[in-house]
Chains A and B, each alone.
Chain A
Amino acid sequence: MERKAQILSGVTFIAMLLAIYMVFIYAPIERKMGILQKIFYFHVSTAWIPYLAFLVVFLCSIVFLWRRDKRWDTIAFCSAEIGLVIDTLVLITGSIWAKPAWGVWWTWEPRLTTSLIMWLLYAGYLLLRRSVEEAMRRARFAAVYGIAAFISVPISFMSIRWWRTIHPVVIKPTGIELEPPMITALIVCLVAFTLFYFCLLQQRYRLKKIKDEIEDIKSELGG
């Protein structure tokens, strides 16, 4: 267990270094936007992590309700927390990227809006968890909400997209053409951030378990 965690951390560290090298040195500088375009790699490769993280919440919630094993609930909680943090990063890097690409900090574009709605959904998820004292009940409620919230994400995305297609699109995204080295850099970045997610999840899970154990010991001694 310990050994595996170390290996994962090491691999993630190397992948991250490689990603930084690929983004800043290997990939050419974009002609129109120059150095600003670099944030694109980080933005795109983080953008899919919340979807992955919340999918993990969804699946763990189902397994928890089925098996009633507290471990699944703990994984769901850790994944939701990491997903929310990375989603915040996505929204911030997205805004920085939107400024040079579209000329505004924010636009109600389907992917951007969906990221915002996801942020609200899982902020609610974490607030719900804080609002229930008893552990098993908290796990059940969180699991039910984790399922309902995740199912609503694709429906939100579709309805926002249809909404936009019928509305006139004021700001047209200027597509950038990706050179082959840029694509390679993007793929490396994607892999690095995905590893980073699993690395964080593992560390967070370990931390949470230790914390729960301390709580148990405390209540035993105090109670």
Chain B
Amino acid sequence: MNYIRQILTIVSKDIAAEIRTKEMLNSMLVFVILIMVIFHFAFGEVFEGVEIAVGILWGAFLFAAVLGLNRIFVHEKDEGCLDGLMLCPTDRAVIYFGKVLSSLIFIFVVQMLALPIFFVFFIKMIPLSNLWLLLLVIILSNVGITSVGTLLSAISINTKARDLMLPILFFPVIIPILIAAVKLTGLIMTASKFSGDILIWLRMLAIYDIIFLLVGFLTFEYVLEE
């Protein structure tokens, strides 16, 4: 119980700071829309069908996520708040889960703002029947993205290359998530009802999430040390 309260304290601190500056949310949102526009021109005339649209969606989501994850420790580090956080009489795991949860919230908010724009741009209609399933896929993918991303963000912020390091470390680890997310979104948008394939991929996403939350939970304390 105490654990959860401490995690929520960190999350509410992050949200309060973000509401004041709106730095991360604004830039992520503009970035997502920008990537959609760039992909639209990059594919040009050949652009057709749901398959490419789904690729664009997840490409945009992943790039925006990296942008946000890069920022998750920047203020803590630059303004010396990280030392304060580390001095708190709590477990390192509390900081980890707090940061995972707040980046989860920020990324989800941006995605929910970008999703209607995506539908208008590329699909021309909103598939209301399977919307809940799509939201489930987005949330499950986000858990994987943030559990890995928070861990690697804490590493990359402490390197010489800083922002340069995160995408290089993050993308190869996240490839299974991308595969599952693209596959599932494609299935949901084309198939009319729930199928066995959807279940297989949902399970795959869930397994990935559990494994990487565990990895993050167990190794995070070694990153924040000194």
Residues of A within 8 A of B (CB): 65, 117, 120-121, 123-124, 127-128, 131-133, 137, 140-141, 143-145, 147-149, 151-152, 155-156, 158-160, 162-163, 166
Known: A137-B158, A141-B158. A159 touches B180 (CB 8 A): yes
Q: A144-B222, A148-B219, A160-B179 are in contact. Are A120 and B155 (CB under 8 A)?
A: no
Using a CB–CB cutoff of 8 Å, the interface residues on chain B facing chain A are 148, 151-152, 155-156, 158-161, 165, 168-169, 171-173, 175-176, 179-180, 183, 197, 200-201, 204, 207-208, 211-212, 215, 219, 222-223, 225-226
* Docked CA distance A152–B85 (Å): 29
Q: A166 to chain B: which residues have CB within 8 Å?
A: 183, 197
A131 CB contact (under 8 Å) in B165, B173, B200, B222: B165
A158 and B203 CA atoms in complex are apart in Å by: 12
Contacts of B171 in A (CB 8 A): 120
Additional A-B contacts beyond A132-B160, A145-B152 (13; CB < 8 A) = A117-B172, A128-B156, A132-B159, A140-B223, A141-B155, A141-B158, A141-B223, A145-B155, A148-B152, A148-B215, A151-B211, A152-B172, A156-B175
Partner of A147, one of B156, B176, B215, B226: B215
The docked-state distance in angstroms from the alpha carbon of A52 to that of B29 is: 43
Question: Of the candidates A65, A143, A152, A160, which one forms a contact with B173 in the assembled complex, judged by CB atoms under 8 Å apart?
Answer: A152
Whether A137 pairs with B226 at a CB distance below 8 angstroms is yes
CA distance A65 to B225 in the complex (A): 12
In the bound assembly, the distance between CA atoms of A18 and B153 in angstroms comes to 48
